[in-house]
């Protein structure tokens, strides 16, 4: 039992501190929001340290329900960075937008806890519980500005569709349990390895279950054709919440997708590979073409994130260690680009009011040159122009696809990234070559400048010193496949 508890130390710490902060908020009332938010950031930092310091050997505890390994540690690190930065960025936003309630940081902490549990799931049951803890918190945060119609609408939409996706996932999980007699990932992997060694096809029920589970997970990463909620939720939710949605939960869902497909279903590659290829191609196409006509920057970011998910899924579709490494690198770079871009979007205010039209960025280079430069870096990187980090993210997944002989997938990926470059470059054109419209208010607070600066520097200088991320991703991918 002691070893069990020591293994889940980061999660345990996060859960207990979130509850303690909840108590603090309840007893101190609404004025304590700032304090709770600050302490939440501290909690996230300490959790990050606990994840970082834990040994990265593979340990399975709680009777096979929970796993700690190098892959989980890397992904948890990314998730905690995403949460921490989103919390810092939401600091002044929630005050200005009149949504400063102490429950906001608490719900984000619980969502993060759910994500950590998802990443560490080693059983269909712990997978589901972690996923639900995360989703339930996210539904509430999406509807957090309950007095505005759009926020409540986005929360409700997310809830209804999310519940449907959970239902599909559970249906798939129950079929798999029914046909194999176990929910444990290791046992499932052993069972499928036996089937494969005997040269038999897995039974039909297992394949149907696998398809349903893949559908549920695709919803959580918002891959086409399960993406419908994304633009509406991203647009309707408060911007600070959108910044959070686009960072940490995406990483967590992607990590879970990778773990489920490569772990228990690793021997069924032939069965799921074509599904992943199909949703990857569809996501890339939709991300590239649907974003062209958008006028709201938040909707644009939603379609852009759908496209990015498509690229990251190329790595999973390859089904190899190089593919998983590409997926991890892609998600790392995606996280940095996204947090930077949302720091810029959160600074888009005119006369104390948030604006979110793409046209409002016109002539930004003259009114706020540094902000425009940072945004230009992020946009070039998202478009995948060398030598920025986004290019390397795409490079590694395409290389993995070519190694796995998925030429069509790689070619479509390159073509859609050319189409996608159109709307990223359009933003740069608006900022640098159009006449300025009304200038934005001065960016509020140093933390935004800091996020923009650090993210911009990381993207710009990635090619000089890429080895920490490349090696980290390699170790993490090896750890996932070793299990």
Partner 1 sequence: MIIQAISFYIFAAIAVASAVMVISARNPVHSVLFLILAFFNAAALFILIGAEFLGMILVVVYLGAVTVLFLFVVMMLDINVARLREGFLQYLPIGGLIGAILVAELFLVVGAWVFAPEIEARAQVPIPPLDQMSNTAALGSVLYTRYVYLFQASGLVLLVAMVGAIVLTLRSRPGVHRQSIREQNFRTREESVEIKKVQSRGGV
CA dihedral for 382, 343, 17, 103, sign (positive or negative):
negative
* Count of positions on this chain that bind partner 1 (CB under 8 A): 46
Q: In angstroms, rounded to a whole number, what is the distance separating the alpha carbons of residues 334 and 473?
A: 14
Q: Of 84, 101, 130, 82, which Cα lies nearest the Cα of 34?
A: 101
b (16+ CB within 10 A) / e for 402-416:
eebebeebbebbeeb
Task: Rule CB under 8 A: say whether 139 interacts with partner 1.
Answer: yes
Single out the residue of 113, 284, 285, 345 in contact with partner 1 (rule: CB under 8 A).
113
Q: Of 262, 440, 271, 430, which Cα lies nearest the Cα of 349?
A: 440
Q: Looking at beta carbons only, is 64 or 453 nearer to partner 1?
A: 64
Task: Rule CB under 8 A: say whether 47 interacts with partner 1.
Answer: no
Q: Looking at beta carbons only, is 124 or 277 nearer to partner 1?
A: 124
Q: How many CB atoms lie within 10 A of CB 299?
A: 20
Binding region for partner 1 (CB under 8 A) out of 141-149, 231-239, 243-251, 258-266: 141-149
Matching residue, tokens 């990857």: 280
Give, for 66, the enclosing helix (H) or strand (E): strand 66-68
Binding region for partner 1 (CB under 8 A) out of 171-179, 287-295, 356-364, 422-430: 171-179
- Six-digit token string for 172: 């798939």
Give, for 34, the enclosing helix (H) or strand (E): helix 33-53
Q: In angstroms, rounded to a whole number, what is the distance separating the alpha carbons of residues 441 and 190?
A: 59
Single out the residue of 66, 272, 334, 462 in contact with partner 1 (rule: CB under 8 A).
66
Task: Rule CB under 8 A: say whether 40 interacts with partner 1.
Answer: no
Q: Looking at beta carbons only, is 117 or 448 nearer to partner 1?
A: 117
Task: Rule CB under 8 A: say whether 201 interacts with partner 1.
Answer: no
Single out the residue of 21, 51, 67, 143 in contact with partner 1 (rule: CB under 8 A).
143
Q: Looking at beta carbons only, is 53 or 204 nearer to partner 1?
A: 204
Q: How far is the CB of 288 from partner 1 (least distance, A)?
A: 28
Single out the residue of 148, 174, 182, 273 in contact with partner 1 (rule: CB under 8 A).
182
Q: In angstroms, rounded to a whole number, what is the distance separating the alpha carbons of residues 340 and 213?
A: 33
Task: Rule CB under 8 A: say whether 175 interacts with partner 1.
Answer: yes
Task: Rule CB under 8 A: say whether 15 interacts with partner 1.
Answer: yes
Single out the residue of 94, 107, 313, 480 in contact with partner 1 (rule: CB under 8 A).
107
194 in helix, strand or coil?
A: helix
- Six-digit token string for 22: 């909840």
Q: Looking at beta carbons only, is 25 or 340 nearer to partner 1?
A: 25
254 in helix, strand or coil?
A: helix
Q: In angstroms, rounded to a whole number, what is the distance separating the alpha carbons of residues 306 and 236?
A: 17
Q: Looking at beta carbons only, is 113 or 253 nearer to partner 1?
A: 113
Q: How far is the CB of 19 from partner 1 (least distance, A)?
A: 8
Task: Rule CB under 8 A: say whether 125 interacts with partner 1.
Answer: yes
Q: In angstroms, rounded to a whole number, what is the distance separating the alpha carbons of residues 56 and 275?
A: 32
- Six-digit token string for 2: 């002691």
Task: Rule CB under 8 A: say whether 304 interacts with partner 1.
Answer: no
Q: Is the separation of the CB atoms in 372 and 433 below 8 Å?
A: no
Single out the residue of 91, 144, 234, 334 in contact with partner 1 (rule: CB under 8 A).
144
Q: Looking at beta carbons only, is 182 or 449 nearer to partner 1?
A: 182
Single out the residue of 6, 42, 52, 203 in contact with partner 1 (rule: CB under 8 A).
203
- Six-digit token string for 426: 């359009």
Q: Which residues pair with 332 in a beta bridge?
A: none
Show contacts with partner 1 in window 316-355 (CB under 8 A): none
Task: Rule CB under 8 A: say whether 133 interacts with partner 1.
Answer: yes
Single out the residue of 67, 68, 90, 103 in contact with partner 1 (rule: CB under 8 A).
103
Give, for 7, the enclosing helix (H) or strand (E): helix 2-7
Q: In angstroms, rounded to a whole number, what is the distance separating the alpha carbons of residues 264 and 426?
A: 43
Q: Looking at beta carbons only, is 256 or 337 nearer to partner 1?
A: 256
Residues near partner 1, by CB under 8 A = 4, 8, 15, 19, 22, 62-66, 101, 103, 106-107, 110, 113, 117, 125-126, 129-130, 132-133, 136-137, 139-140, 143-144, 146, 155, 175, 178-184, 187, 191, 194, 203-205, 208
């Amino acid at each position: 039992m002691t070893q069990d508890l020591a293994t889940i130390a980061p999660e345990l710490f996060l859960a207990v501190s979130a509850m303690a902060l909840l108590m603090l908020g309840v007893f101190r009332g609404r004025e304590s929001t700032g304090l709770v938010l600050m302490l939440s950031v501290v909690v996230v930092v300490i959790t990050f340290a606990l994840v970082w310091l834990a040994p990265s050997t593979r340990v399975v505890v709680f009777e096979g329900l929970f796993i700690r390994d190098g892959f989980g540690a890397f992904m948890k690190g990314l998730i905690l960075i995403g949460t921490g930065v989103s919390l810092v960025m939401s600091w002044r936003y929630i005050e200005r937008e009149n949504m400063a309630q102490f429950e906001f940081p608490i719900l984000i902490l619980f969502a993060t806890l759910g994500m950590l549990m998802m990443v560490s799931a080693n059983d269909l049951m712990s997978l589901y519980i972690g996923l639900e803890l995360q989703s339930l918190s996210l539904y509430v945060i999406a509807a957090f500005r309950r007095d505005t119609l759009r926020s409540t609408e986005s929360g409700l939409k997310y809830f209804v569709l999310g519940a449907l996706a959970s239902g599909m996932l559970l249906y798939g999980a129950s079929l798999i349990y029914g046909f194999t007699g176990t929910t444990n990932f290791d046992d499932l992997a052993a069972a499928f390895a036996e089937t494969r060694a005997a040269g038999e096809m897995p039974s039909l029920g297992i394949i149907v279950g696998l398809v349903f589970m893949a559908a549920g997970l695709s919803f959580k990463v918002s891959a086409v054709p399960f993406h419908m909620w994304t633009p509406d939720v991203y647009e309707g939710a408060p911007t600070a919440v959108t910044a959070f949605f686009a960072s940490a939960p995406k990483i967590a869902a992607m990590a879970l997708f990778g773990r489920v497909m490569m772990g228990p279903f690793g021997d069924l590659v032939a069965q799921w590979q074509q599904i992943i290829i199909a949703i990857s191609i569809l996501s890339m196409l939709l991300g590239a073409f649907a974003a062209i006509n958008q006028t709201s920057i938040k909707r644009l970011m939603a379609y852009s994130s759908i496209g990015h998910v498509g690229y990251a899924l190329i790595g999973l579709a390859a089904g190899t260690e190089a593919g998983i490494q590409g997926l991890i690198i892609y998600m790392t770079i995606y996280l940095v680009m996204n947090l930077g871009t949302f720091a810029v979007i959160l600074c888009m205010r005119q006369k104390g009011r948030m604006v979110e039209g793409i046209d409002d960025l016109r002539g930004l280079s003259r009114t706020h040159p540094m902000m425009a430069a940072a945004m230009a870096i992020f946009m070039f990187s998202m478009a995948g122009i060398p030598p920025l980090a986004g290019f390397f993210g795409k490079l590694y997944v395409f290389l993995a696809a070519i190694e796995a002989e998925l030429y069509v997938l790689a070619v479509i990926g390159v073509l859609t990234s050319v189409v996608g470059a159109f709307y990223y470059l359009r933003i740069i054109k608006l900022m640098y070559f159009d006449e300025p419209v009304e200038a934005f208010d001065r960016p509020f607070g140093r933390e935004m400048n800091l996020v923009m600066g650090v993210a911009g520097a990381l993207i710009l200088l990635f090619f000089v010193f890429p080895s920490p991320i490349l090696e980290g991703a390699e170790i993490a991918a090896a750890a996932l496949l070793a299990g």
